[in-house]
Amino acid sequence: MKKSSKFSPEVRERAVRLVQEHRGEYSSLWVAIEAIAAKIGCGPQTLHEWVGPQGGS
């Protein structure tokens, strides 16, 4: 059984959009994910899963 997310779909979409929009400001996708995850209050691995295989492109 999946654990329910404490993040609304809107927060998830915004976080993914932030990664996509600001990826170029960071040295790597992972650094961007770490920075944005800290701002929204989730773990970087969680945000990485939300971003998915496209990698923020």
pLDDT digits (tens, 9 = 90+) for 38-53: 999 999 999 999 998 7
pLDDT at 55 over 70: no
Tokens 């650094």 sit on residue:
31
Residue 33 is predicted with a pLDDT of 97
**Band of residue 6 on the pLDDT scale cut at 50, 70, 90:** confident
- Is 39 within 8 Å of 53 (Cβ atoms)? no
Residue 39 is predicted with a pLDDT of 95
Lowest average pLDDT, out of 20-24, 36-40, 43-47, 53-57, goes to 53-57
Q: What is the 3-state secondary structure (H, E, C) of 1-57?
A: CCCCCCCCHHHHHHHHHHHHHHHHHCCCHHHHHHHHHHHHCCCHHHHHHHHCCCCCC
Q: Does domain 9-51 match CATH 3.40.50.300?
A: no
Q: Where are the domains of the chain?
A: 9-51
Mean model confidence pLDDT for the chain: 90
